Amino acid sequence: MVASLRRHLAVVTAAVLVTAALAQSTLRIGLAEDPDILDPALARTYVGRIVFASLCDKLFDIDTSANIVPQLATGYTVSEDGLTVTIDLRTDVVFHDGTPMDAEAVKYSLDRAKNLPGSNRASELEQLESVSVVDADTVELHLTTPFAPLIAQLADRAGMIVSPTAAEELGEDFGNAPVCAGPFRFVERVAQDRIVLEKFEDYYRADEINFDRVVFLPIPDTSVRLANLQSGDLDMIERPAPTDLGVMRSDPNIVIPSVPSLGYQGITINIANPEPRTDPLSSDPRVREAFELAIDRNTINDVVFGGEFVVGNQPVPPSSPWYVPEIAVPERDVERARQLLDEAGVDRVQFEMMVANNPEAIRVGEVIQAMAGEVGFDITLRATEFATALDLQEQGQYAAFPVGWSGRIDPDGNIHQFHTCEGALNESGYCDPEVDRLLNEARAAPTMEARYDLYRQALERYLPDRHIIYLYHTVLFFPHRADLQGFQAYPDGLIRLQGVSLAQN
Amino acid sequence: MLPFVGRRALTAIPTLFIVTLMVFAIQRSLPGDPALILAGEQQDPEVIAFIRQKYRLDDPLPVQYVAWLAQLARGDLGLSLRTNERVLGLIGSKLPVTIELAVLSMLVAVAIALPIGVLAAVRRGTAVDYGGTVFALTGISVPNFWLGIMLILLVSVQLGWLPASGYVPLSEGVWENLKRMIMPAFVLGTGLAGVLMRQMRSSMLGVLRQDFVRTARAKGLRGAAVVVRHAARNALIPVVTILGLQLGALLSGAVLTEQVFTIPGFGKLIVDAVFNRDYAVVQGVVLITATGYILINLVVDVAYAVLDPRIGAR
């Protein structure tokens, strides 16, 4: 009797296991856009990084609090003079084509990221002079100057190690069939339709991977993406519309992990691009201060984003260890703003604000327009298709433009190129040698404390100039089916599938 | 018949040439630098310079145009700026999807419109006629994207009967494919059915008044035979014109429906390409679409000739 019961149980258990195994064979993730080329050296889009997280492991990674942790590396040491970084590697890793992931491969990948024509990583690895192989599982990175953000760069695409064999063999076509050392291997891609990856059995953490396949489906329309999640055609989506969160929260089949992003949203003001400008907003910091004081950040957050985002006044969100709490978020102060305009000798300030041509950006523009109008700013909004807006911004044909930055793990990535005189993304034409000095020193400083202090000084110096007025930080939401377990949201917005599984129904 | 077809085919060449000139000129006059968009958030000047050089964006426009024509002459539509894929391959993978969608929509439209149109004409002034008119007006007036989203919410989210979006190639299962095509084909088809039904009805009314119909009746033929064999066949000619034009429009115009149902077809390809300033893809798609239009027009002309031999004889 007992034996028969036991056998019966065993059969049932086996059946459940088989069903579970079948049921959890494929994970479907809805992306907000179609990624661009899938070559870590050439890739440019945020959404592409989400696919890479399943495809290509990196030397380093981050944890849920944005601390850097080893991934393909096991650790690193920096020499006394800051010019040599020695990285120890895991010894149990192979690429999807079966070749070993060793020091030679790391050297190959870093050299490739630096030298491949058109590489988007070249500037990220600017301070990397050469890589030498010490032994099979140790590499030395030689730098031209000490560069603290390097390890953070290696925790993103610059640190993804590709199979040298495949890269040599495929050449320019590598991005159409990438071979890395991540948990899933590339199967196929149909442009604008899907990217299919399958579990890599020889992955060094294969026991943490519970899906045979993961399929990424680009679905740009937020309501359609949500409908697919609600109907069960997708297991997870990224970047839902904040205004849809209410609907999702009331759906018992959906849970929504979230985390503040590493980036910021603010208003970039053109003060000297390409030439110094003479209008009151560009030429007088008091007018810009009045403009900032006219704006209530919480109102923008409440009206446009249902209060789901995080207000802020710095290039990093308040949740970041690099945030300076002493520099408080300014409150709206109409009286003081009026007073500043009087001091500046202007009554009403007229300017045109370019906004991206999408409903959210336009609403942000309208809220700012209304609040600033009460103080004395007559703002005309010019809704501009995003590609055109980027073009106009680069050419300096704009006065003000609310625009964001998706953010980097190291604060340098959110600050340096925007505020240094020669910064590649310095679209406001700002230039202050003292800010340059502080930001350059912060790159080379050896400890986090020293760097924090330098960034604090830099912020205290450039924030009052208000060529970028930081407003809020987006929050990353990853709504997924309630039966999906073990998923954690990371502040870099990547979807990591290690340890994620579907519950047995 | 052959010289007729040959003559019509020859006129296609200058048309296509003008199309290449226009798509090139219009696209280059748009603001928005592809190199900036491609470089992405980082906007590294060296990367931007490299992209400009690689895709010849720095060359004078006439040079770019001639280079493109030379490429076309070799049967090469170039590389997508965004994903580095061959444009010809991209189009080759999207075209069957859109053609399938267009054909299914046409079937839906014809299956709804022709019987209703004929009935409305035969029973002119009755409830059938008014009902048909209301249906036609509704079909024309309701925006496709709205109907699409409503259908997704009702059929997929509420009832869970059909997948909300996406596409499965026919080769991976006819039923899996149809499950995803039913709703978009229905949405597009009902939109077309309104126009077709109105056309069928008025055309039918005209034919029913003609002498040969009266003669056929006088010969003692029964109502249904007269309507179907004699009247409807002749009434179809203007309807075929509309069908042809609409099939052409469907190839490029299913844009919104393809966006809503995330069907990786032609419409979606061109919308995404325009937003990314992916010149090579836009140019290729427009050119192929134009060729498609020309072909369809040719087929329509031939169809006239078959339906009404007097046309071919002229």
Whether residues A36 and B43 touch (CB distance < 8 A) is answered with: no
| Tens digit of each residue's pLDDT (9 = 90 or more) over A25-42 | 899 999 998 998 999 999
How high is the pLDDT of residue B312? 55
Measured in Å, how far apart are chain B's first and last C-alpha atoms?
10
User: How does pLDDT run across B258-273, given as a tens digit for each residue?
Assistant: 888 888 888 888 888 8
Task: Provide mean pLDDT across the span B212-221.
Answer: 79
8 A C-beta contact, residue A37 and residue A175: yes
Question: Exposed/middle/buried for A299, CB within 10 Å: 0-12, 13-18, 19+?
Answer: middle
Compute the distance between CA of residue A141 and CA of residue A85 in angstroms, rounded to an integer. 5
pLDDT band per the 50, 70, 90 thresholds, residue A189 = very high
- With a cut of 50, say whether residue B31 has pLDDT above it: yes
> Stretch A187-195: mean pLDDT, rounded?
91
Q: Is the pLDDT at A340 greater than 90, yes or no?
A: yes
| Residues paired with residue A383 on neighbouring β-strands, in sequence order | A355
End-to-end Cα separation, chain A, in angstroms = 28
Judged by CB atoms within 8 Å, which residues 166-195 of B form the interface with A? 166-167
Nearest-Cα residue of chain B relative to residue A387? B32
| Confidence at residue A503, expressed as pLDDT on a 0 to 100 scale | 79
Min Cα–Cα distance to chain A from B136, Å: 27
**Inter-chain CB pairs, A–B, below 8 Å:** 136
d(CA A312, CA A318): 7
pLDDT of B41 > 80? The answer is no
Residues in CB range of B130: below 8 A, 6 or more apart: none
Q: Do A175 and B84 touch (CB under 8 A)?
A: yes
Residues of chain B positioned with their CB less than 8 A from the CB of A194: 166
Of A213-217, A233-237, B3-7, B124-128, minimum mean pLDDT range: B3-7
pLDDT cut 90: percent of chain A above it: 85
ipTM: 0.79
- The residue among B59, B269, B54, B35 whose CA lies nearest residue A390 is B35
Q: What does the alpha-carbon distance between residue B26 and residue A71 come to, in Å, rounded to a whole number? A: 49
* B27 interfaces chain A, CB cutoff of 8 Å: no
Residue B99 predicted with pLDDT over 90: no
Which of B160, B189, B164, B146 is closest to B262 using CA atoms?
B164
pLDDT at position A16 over 50: no
CB contact under 8 A, A217 and B166: yes
Q: What is the mean pLDDT of residues A482-497?
A: 95
- The number of beta carbons lying within 10 Å of the beta carbon of residue A188 is 12
pLDDT at residue A450, as a whole number: 96
**Closest CA of chain B from A388, distance in Å:** 4
- Which of the two residues, A126 and B216, has the higher pLDDT score? A126
Contact B82 A37 (CB under 8 A): yes
The pLDDT assigned to B314 comes to: 47
Cβ neighbours around A394 below 10 Å, total: 17
* Residue B38 to chain A, least CA–CA distance (Å): 7
pLDDT at A83: 95
Please tell me the predicted confidence (pLDDT) of residue A386.
84
Task: Read off φ and ψ for residue A69, nearest 5 degrees.
Answer: -130, 155
Q: How confident is the model at residue B16 (pLDDT cuts 50, 70, 90)?
A: confident
Distance, C-alpha A407 to centroid of its chain:
5
* Record: contact B47-A118, CB cut-off 8 A: yes
pTM of the model: 0.86
What is the nearest CA distance from B77 to chain A, expressed in angstroms?
A: 17
Contact check, Cβ <8 Å, A387/B259: no
Q: What is the mean pLDDT of chain A?
A: 92
Residues A100-118: b if buried by 16+ CB within 10 A, e if exposed? ebbbebbbbbbebbbebeb
Chain B, 195-254: which have a CB under 8 Å from a chain A CB?
A: none
User: Which has the higher per-residue pLDDT, B3 or A292?
Assistant: A292
- Rounded mean pLDDT of B94-100? 88
Given a cut of 60, is residue A256 above it in pLDDT? yes
| Of A359-368, B106-115, B285-294, minimum mean pLDDT range | B285-294
- Between A98-102, A115-119, A137-141, A331-335, the lowest mean confidence (pLDDT) is in A115-119
Question: What tens digit of pLDDT does each residue of A42-69 get?
Answer: 998 889 999 999 999 999 999 998 899 9
What pLDDT, on a 0 to 100 scale, did the predictor assign at position A132?
97
What does the pLDDT read at residue A11?
Answer: 47
Shortest distance, CA B102 to any CA of chain A (angstroms): 18
Assign A115 a pLDDT band (cuts: 50, 70, 90). very high
Name chain B contacts of A118, Cβ cutoff 8 Å: 47, 50-51, 54
Residues B23, B283: contact at Cβ < 8 Å? yes
